[in-house]
Structure 1
Amino acid sequence: MPTLTIDHLNKSFGETQALRDMTFSVGEGELFGFVGSNGAGKSTTMRIALGVLSKDSGEVYFDDAPINDDNRRRIGYMPEERGLYGKEPLLSQLVFLGTLHGMDKSAAKRAGAELLEQLGLGERMDDKLDDLSLGNQQRVQLAASLIHDPDMLILDEPFSGLDPVAVNVMSDMLRERANRGVPVIFSSHQLDLVQRLCDRVGIVTKGHMVAE
């Protein structure tokens, strides 16, 4: 399985420097918690790693190679701004997202149905996303990040707004992926959860990693 290395990233928005020599790495099978206040630079770092934002300087390495459009396809990403389709049935949009990652339709359907079952939504596969509670919508968003069986997971505030049962379900799935060797990085404000779940924690202040 690959590793993710963030190497001296810098990023400014006008006069505001969002990242200052941001540097850390996440290894095979590791759950890495990314902690900091709002505006600390967590989401900016993740978006640069995913190619959503450009960097001013520095580099992102995926398995020791500079990250590019090809190896980004091997990453599962859960953005803080959830991006699924409210009027579409759950399984059909997971199948659609799977095919975007290069899966054939039948394989995507099997994987989507299995993930929804694991997440406790097996009986709601044909429901529209808007008919679900916020917590269940986030379970579907996790399924969307896992549909193509990624080699790495990057999750931005995946536990935000979840009830305790949903937190446990999501925690178990992330730990199970890490046990398979998948590097997992996620940001969170819930320090007790980070402490319980993570192998390592990085603390970010004003765009800089101040402690690991």
Structure 2
Amino acid sequence: MRAGLTVTGLTKRFGDLTALDDLSFDVAPGEVFGFVGSNGAGKSTTMRIILGVLAADTGSVGFGERDIDSDVRRRIGYMPEERGLYPKMKVGEQLVYLARLHGLSPSDASTRMRYWTERLGVDARVGDNVADLSLGNQQRVQLAAALVFDPDLLVLDEPFSGLDPVAVDVMSDVIVEKAADGVPVLFSSHQLELVQRLCHRVGIIAKGRMQALGAVDDLRARDGVRLRVASTAPAGWADGLPGVVRAEYGETTTVYVDDTVDDQQVLRAALAHGPVHTFASEKPDLTELFREVVTAA
């Protein structure tokens, strides 16, 4: 039975700087949780507290029914934003060594090393030093190091940084597969289109506080649906229509609406002024939401 991660009331100060301010969230078994924010928002500090690298001033971190301790941390697969591998050590030897540190037998460690290097496309480089690899391949080996001992929790800090599109697809597939096995996955990324595509829920952190938290679709819908209308209608044609909050006019008019709107009435109003070339409803994407939340914080 897989367990989930619970972060409760974390506060961390560095002198006069409050890095985390009563931060709380959870990651359920089998959930992919996107942890996003600007540089300096507190993401890496949170991850380091989860890993025990830093101690919180107040608050707690739990896994299942117990606080995270050294035994639990041995079961966490961590991928740091800044690579933490030994640059002058061969890839295969390093992965076997790390697997052994997490309790695997020599035979099992070798088997898992071969599986993950092949799965991540670096099996031809197991005899090379990490320093001799491209940055993208170093990133693949770093992920293999987080996975080689079959962790119960994955914490990934900017896992897609420096990867080409093929490698992004491979890493995305691995994240989805681990979640499907019941592993909670917490990852941060500035590539918000990937966060939107992969994550069940997202937390947006700014100035050390959780500013928005919820399912991706729910967060995208919180500011309502909007209509995109490409037509020859003059500016002002949608003003005053029932359910229209505001409109931004141009070659394509963006009409912001509330739950009472009759979209067919909006379409008829546009058609009354000439041909309509496109008419579609959409939700704001995660990138737009992120900008709004961070700017307002």
**One fold, TM greater than 0.5?**
yes
Equivalent residue letter for 1:152: L
Q: Which residue of 1 aligns with 2:210?
A: 209
Letter in 1 for 2:59: G
Q: Which moved more, 1:174-183 or 1:98-107?
A: 98-107
Task: Provide the residue aligned with 1:8 in structure 2.
Answer: 9
Query: What is the aligned partner in structure 1 of residue 81 from structure 2?
Result: 80
Please give the TM-score of this superposition, normalised by the length of structure 1.
0.98
Residue 65 of structure 1 aligns with which residue? 66
Q: Tell me, in whole angstroms, the C-alpha distance in 2 between the residues paired with 1:99 and 1:117.
A: 19
Aligned counterparts of 2:12 and 2:54: Cα–Cα separation in 1 = 9
Q: Does 1:31 align with 2:51?
A: no
Is 2:117 aligned against 1:116? yes
Q: Indicate the residue corresponding to 1:193 in structure 2.
A: 194
Who wins on radius of gyration, i.e. which is larger?
A: 2
Unpaired segments ≥5 residues, structure 1: none
Find runs of 4+ consecutive structure 1 residues off by over 6 angstroms.
none
Identity level (%): 62
The answer for the alignment partner of 1:179 in structure 2 is 180
| Secondary structure at 2:83 match in 1 | coil
Unaligned runs of 5+ in 2: 214-297
Deviation at 1:184, TM superposition (A): 0.2
Q: Give the equivalent residue in structure 1 for 2:163.
A: 162
* Partner residue in 2 for 1:138: 139
Mapped partners of 1:209, 1:94: distance in 2? 35
CA RMSD of aligned residues (A): 0.8
SS of 1:82's partner is: coil
The CA distance in 2 between the partners of 1:120 and 1:148, in whole Å, is 18
Return the structure number with greater relative CO, CA threshold 8 A, min gap 6.
1
Distance 2:179 2:14 in 1: 34
User: What amino acid sits opposite 1:70 in the alignment?
Assistant: D
| CA offsets 1:7-52 (integer angstroms, 9 cap, x no match) | 0000000000000000000001000000100000000001001100
Equivalent residue, structure 2, for 1:96? 97
Aligned equivalents of 2:197 and 2:86: distance in 1? 32
Report SS of the residue matched to 1:45.
Answer: helix
Deviation sequence 1:177-202 (CA, Å, 0-9, x none) = 00100000000111111001111110
Match of 2:49 in 1: 48
Cα deviation for residue 89 of structure 1 reads: 1.3
Scaled by the length of structure 2, the TM-score of the pair is 0.70
Residue-pair matches, total:
212
Matched to 2:27, the amino acid is V
Secondary structure of the residue that 1:141 maps to in structure 2?
helix
Counterpart-to-counterpart distance in 2, 1:188 and 1:44:
15
User: One-letter code of the match for 2:128?
Assistant: D
Per the alignment, in what secondary structure is the counterpart of residue 142 of structure 1? helix
AA in 1 matched with 2:203: G
* Alignment partners' CA distance in 1, 2:125 and 2:45: 34
In the TM superposition, residue 64 of structure 1 has moved relative to its aligned partner by 2.4
